Structure 1
Amino acid sequence: MATTIRLPMAGGELYDYALSGAAPFGKPSAPLASRIAFSAAHVVCDPLADADPLHRSRIDWDATLAYRRHLWSYGLAVAEAMDTAQRGMGLPPEGARELIERSLSEARAVGGRIACGAGTDHLAPGPAVTLEAVERAYEEQCAHVERHGGQIILMASRALAAAARGPDDYERVYGRILRQVSQPVILHWLGDMFDPALAGYWGHKDLDAAMEVCLRVIRANAGKVDGIKISLLDAEKEVRMRRLLPEGVKMYTGDDFNYPELIKGDAQGFSHALLGIFDAIAPAASAAIAALDAGDSAGFDALLAKTVPLSRHIFQAPTYAYKTGVVFMAYLNGHQRHFRMLGGAEGARSTVHLAELFALADQAGLLADPELACERMRHVLALSGIR
């Protein structure tokens, strides 16, 4: 008999949900080859730390690094200290620096691929912040990543968004930083749905005009750009930009709504991946890319199609609250012993939202141990008075 659990729906009504009983995904038998697949990785907080959880949360380093080993075991690369790790939304700059150092050491120990976010989050935006200050902040963080042997993901800067007066300022700052890096970086264009402070990035609110500025930066520094990740949740714009990139510069999709079609690509090219949702769907993502490696495009489609409703649910507005769903998935699957987050962000989604996430994860075959997941879902429901 199928396992059942009583879940709430919008309006407060309860219903009995029967789990699908889908078999768990296996590990890949060979390295993933046809696409580069980065998973932006979350951090696990220490719920027993005697510290203010809103302002001084601490990281459980053992559980955090174990999760990175989980991602590597499925053949994925790790994108470290990104917004999925609550960078700038619970993870302070000093925590990001330590996270980068520890994860780079762990990657060397297990042979895992990794790239690390470098930004300006230790520089608070304000009217007194100059472009020179933004450049120094970027230089400091880029030097830290390179000093510890990491590839840089050059993150969007809130301080630059506040200080820049137009496209020329973006071209100046990015040009200066790219001329100094020792190896090609991955640029990261994060849309304002993920961080409202980045509205008007590249000097334009119009995305097409912003794209032209970004492309000018890339073309002027193509030898220092491995690729660009764009997180705009607009497949058409990503494809358009992908076709305009200089030869050798990769597109890494950051579109957590439309990733299957973008990764699969078309006759004119495809996107690699650098996705927050891959943290939550790592086994399915790995299996799908392995299918693509084997020439099984239908298998790729079928595997990822089941994950899209889950991803769209996790990344629904307000999009920046998606980290709650990512961490909840890790909790349901036994990768951490609690559902607590830096800055108390576990409260960013409703109980009804989490209940639907549970059902969608089951339908995607992403509950590795359904009995454990049900037990943990019941604990969360009990906190809302549902027994």
Structure 2
Amino acid sequence: MLDIAEELHRWVEQGRDVAVATVVAVGGSAPRRPGAALAVDSAGTAIGSVSGGCVEGAVYDLCQQALKDGETVLERFGYSDEDAFAVGLSCGGVIDILVTPIRADSAVRPVFAAALAAAARGEAAALARITAGPAGLLGRALLVRPGGSYEGGLGGHPELDRTAAGEARAMLDGGRTGTLEIGERGARCGQPLTLLVESSVPPPRMIVFGAIDFASALVRAGKFLGYHVTVCDARPVFTTAARFPDADEIVVAWPHRYLESTEVDGRTVLCVLTHDAKFDVPLLERALRLPVAFVGAMGSRRTHEDRAERLREIGVTELELARLHSPIGLDLGARTPEETALSIAAEIVAVRRGGSGVSLTGAHTPIHHDSRSAPAGRIGSVA
């Protein structure tokens, strides 16, 4: 749901009654991940998507029904031979959809409103909702802040809220969205509750070192992928807003000194396009020792070998060197800056998602590498 927070927040601020359908579990080749949402207001306006088109019509009808009766429902959409050309996922996947009415009289509206406001402002917050458990608790919600404070409630024992808040905060710290199970009263025993935890965190950083033409194309690719993009170069004549209008931040500084002073985390991507030993060797020495998601460097294979040898000479270990993606990018036969940016972006996605980078045609690798398996079922409600 937080993936459409900005528009949905406006709807709620305007006082509209809204029903939100959220993907809470997936199996097989499902097109969207947990947290993806479709929202419908009382006028019939819709935003978002839960399946890329496969079951949108049926989910839209569920949202309209929820607006009328005020009931939260959980529905499964799956594949079978009979369903293939009806309302189903012809790709062979299974998705569970939680439909929650957020009407003026809804008990969960204040919690949802606060979660949407935080996400729309770019603040860190996690929304935990019950997606499976005892009757009457379905859809109950808890909003958790980075410091551990929370608001709302799951409708059970106070220990349940405290335990859920702790688990949600751990997921928020990692910027993760997914499901977890806890005991009904907070202990990991007894009748379990399943929670969907959606984390809203500031966008991950991409830092592009080297103010060259290839960098301009990579900045655009990074923005398209949802990164907050910084361009850094020591040469002020090249490092300008006019050359990089799409960058969120432009820094004139020696790259290694900037990296020492700026904040990075486990989602940060570092792309070294400086292509000059006096810049990239001291920069990579530091970059390869940081807990970031990706470190890549541009250059020919000869340049890579020379750079690797220079790094070894200053004490970079083989284990640290193994983290370096160099030459950066996948083999697409790229020539232009835009094609090169695409190859780099593709490698970043492959590393992030565990992809192989090979063509899907004729391959036997899974399309969605982070999918969890779930039994395929006929269309119908989940008990």
Point out the structure with max Rg over C-alpha: 2
- Pairwise same-fold verdict (TM > 0.5): no
TM-score, normalising length: structure 2: 0.29
TM-score, normalising length: structure 1: 0.29
Higher strand share: 2
